[in-house]
Amino acid sequence: MKVINKKMALFISLLIAVAVPVFAYVYSLTLDYTKQIPVGVVVRYPIPAQFGVYWNYECTMPVTFIDFGEIPQPRTWMSLYKTIYIRNEQPDKRIWIYWNSTLRDATTQISESWISNGTMIEPGSYYWSSYYLSIPTNVDLGTYNWTITIWAEY
């Protein structure tokens, strides 16, 4: 009887020793992080008569600000994107779209990508593209803002 009680006590001790850390880890994964990373991007285009930047393919909702909102502190590497539409508003000329960003000049761990530099758009046509942010797990908490400048050349 004493041997069974000792084995039972040992089993329960091992079960607790293993179950409690596992439970604590799983529970921590379900918690919402209260620290947020606000991210906003101001969009500028110097000569809007040549082209327009829009949220929808009907090209009726202009983009002036890209708001990624409150982003929770990432537990793993995070990628976010926003899709936009660029319409050539010239009736008879092709345009080539280019962009630049002040994020590249900032000392931040956030990186961006937008595969559209040098994209040609026919007159009256639109081009859709996605603007991506990559946020590592160790990003410094704070508010991030930068400016994207989009321009067209004939």
Question: What is the per-residue DSSP string for 92-137?
Answer: S--EEEEEEEGGGGS--S-EEE-TTTTEEE-TT-EEEEEEEEEE-T
- Stretch among 80-89, 100-109, 130-139, 144-153 having the lowest mean pLDDT: 100-109
pLDDT at 9 over 80: no
Which pLDDT band, with edges at 50, 70 and 90, does 127 fall under?
Answer: very high
At 150, the pLDDT band (50, 70, 90 cuts) reads confident
In this model, does residue 90 exceed pLDDT 80?
yes
